[in-house]
Amino acid sequence: MKKNLAALTVLLMIATPMVAQASPESDLKEFRSHFTNMFPEVPVDDFINGVYSVDEASRAQWEQFEEFPPYEIYISKGEDLFNKKFANGKSFATCFPDYRKGVRQNYPKFDTASGEVVTLEGDINKCLTDNGEKPFGWKKGKIAYVGAYLAYMSRGNKLDVKIPNDAAAMDAYNRGKKHFYAKRGQLNMSCADCHYYNPGKKIRADILSPALGQPTGFPVYRNKWAAVGGDGMGTLHRRYGGCNKQVRAKPFAAQSDEYKALEYFHTYMSNGLEVNGPSLRK
Amino acid sequence: MQGYMHKISTTVSVATLVACLGMAMPLSVNAADDADIAEGKKLSFDRKKGNCLACHAIEGGDLPGNIGPPLIAMKARFPDYEKLRAQIYDARINNPNTIMIPFGPHEVLSAKELELVTKFIYTL
């Protein structure tokens, strides 16, 4: 007992300073090394390829499909929508003046004035409503096409999500982090259970992707989404909802504060990795 | 002769009985047990119920996951049937951060279903 107590004290002594230091930067370092230690053979830049970064067997086939990717027509549809004039004569280019250089890498942003996380989808719809147009739906369809075009224009840019020194920004980050690690649903699983502790393992026939690099490829074309009716395209929040449902948890609404906070944490963890959206996934 | 045999067989029976209580009891010895085990297998494989194959290889199950260990030689790993039931009821007792579903407390399986699943798993 005494021995255990001594061991516990030592553990606490080691653990305490780590907790005190937990900052987004130190979280990111730890997050990164967790995956690079787990997959020493995967170059860190390759995690943007999701499950294919850790599943040699399906990678070749996926690369073959990527040569004539099914999302290509949605990039052009997105481009058309992007260039179409609004009733007031303006267009999306008014709201995204830097779209040629790429804008995806800076999302989500934190707006200190409103105290809110701002996602790319949020800014797409804000552009519409600010200009007197009707907003798109949040999870699929036109919002995913315009998102796909903007991601495509940003390919190769490195994710650079900023967390300003601001209490509300830290609060959003911490809420997202909590969502990521918290067990939920009747099946009692966290995002981390599947994508932090068990990537590369099989859950039934599906191989789990590492959380590192997950957001870089969105929006995605998923064969499964195409199979259930619809065109296959979907946003990151559509995917969050699907993963919540798998564990029999009630999903949050796309673009709810909860998912925006989750996206903030989740994307920040991939800072420095290249945008490669839109992507093709099973 | 008769008396002699009787004495031996009594001793043997007691020994058998003791052994049975410890290990062999849940082995299917009658039709009712066979039916329970078949039902337990169905529940274990059912995606809406145990869905144990999501994480464990189990003999007779297709496309198993490998998040948890293969469920084999269960009697060697769980000499005590009650400990096996407890593991399936709530894996958090052995590993507080386990990914395995707390089937009992979260009512994914009813008490009856949990018993049937345990019976089946114990035959592996």
Q: Domains, chain A, ranges and CATH?
A: 25-67+164-281 (1.10.760.10), 72-153 (1.10.760.10)
DSSP state of A280: E
Q: Which A residues in the span 159-198 are in contact with B, Cβ-Cβ below 8 Å?
A: 186-189, 193-194, 197-198
* Residue B96 maps to a domain: yes
Q: Which of A237, A202, A214, A83 is nearest to A159 (CA)?
A: A214
* Residue B9 maps to a domain: no
Q: How far, CA to CA in Å, does B26 sit from each of A150, A173, A272, B30, B123?
A: 62, 52, 57, 10, 8
Residues of B with CB under 8 A from a CB of A: 51, 53-55, 63-67, 99, 101-102, 106-108
| A19: three-class secondary structure by DSSP | helix
User: Residue A154 in contact with residue A160, Cβ under 8 Å?
Assistant: no
Shortest distance between the Cα of B24 and any Cα of chain A, in A, equals 31
User: Residue A119 in contact with residue A216, Cβ under 8 Å?
Assistant: no
Provide the pLDDT for residue A276: 97
Q: Which two tokens stand for residue B20?
A: 């049975």
CATH code for the domain of B81: 1.10.760.10
Catalytic residue among A95, A191, A194, A243: A243
A243 as an active site residue: the answer is yes
List the domain range (segments joined by +) for residue B69.
30-123
Name every chain A residue with its beta carbon within 8 A of the beta carbon of B58: none
* Residue B16 maps to a domain: no
Provide the pLDDT for residue B17: 40
Shortest distance between the Cα of A202 and any Cα of chain B, in A, equals 4
User: CB burial class (10 A; 0-12, 13-18, 19+) of residue B95?
Assistant: exposed
User: Percent of chain A beyond pLDDT 90?
Assistant: 89
* Opening angle at CA A165, ends A160 and A170, nearest 5: 85
Mean pLDDT, residues A156-180 taken together:
97
Asked if B63 and A205 come within 8 Å (Cβ–Cβ), the reply is: yes
User: Residue A278 in contact with residue A221, Cβ under 8 Å?
Assistant: yes
Mutate to test the interface with B, among A55, A191, A202, A204 (most CBs of B within 10 A): A204
pLDDT of B55 > 90? The answer is: yes
- Residue A22 pLDDT grade (very low, low, confident, very high; cuts 50, 70, 90): confident
Q: Which residue of B has its CA nearest to A206?
A: B65
| Residue-wise pLDDT tens digits, A216-250 | 999 999 999 999 988 999 999 999 999 999 999 99
| DSSP per residue, A134-194 | PPPPSSSTHHHHHHHHHHHHTTTPBP-----S-HHHHHHHHHHHHHHHS-BTTTTB-HHHH
pLDDT of B4 > 90? The answer is: no
What's the rounded Cα separation, in Å, for the pair A162 and A218? 19
Predicted ipTM beyond 0.85: yes
Least confident of A9-13, A102-106, B48-52: A9-13
Which residue in B53, B107, B108 is closest to A204 by CB distance? Answer: B53
Name every chain A residue with its beta carbon within 8 A of the beta carbon of B46: none
pLDDT of B77 > 60? The answer is: yes
What's the rounded Cα separation, in Å, for the pair A278 and A259? 20
Cite the beta strand spans of A181-250 per DSSP E: 202-203, 206-207, 220-222, 233-234
Provide the pLDDT for residue A7: 47
Sign (positive/negative) of CA torsion B21, B27, B30, B33? Answer: positive
Calculate helix-pair angle for B111-121, B81-89, nearest 10 degrees.
Answer: 130
Mean pLDDT, residues A111-118 taken together:
97
Number of domains, chain B:
1
Provide the pLDDT for residue B29: 60
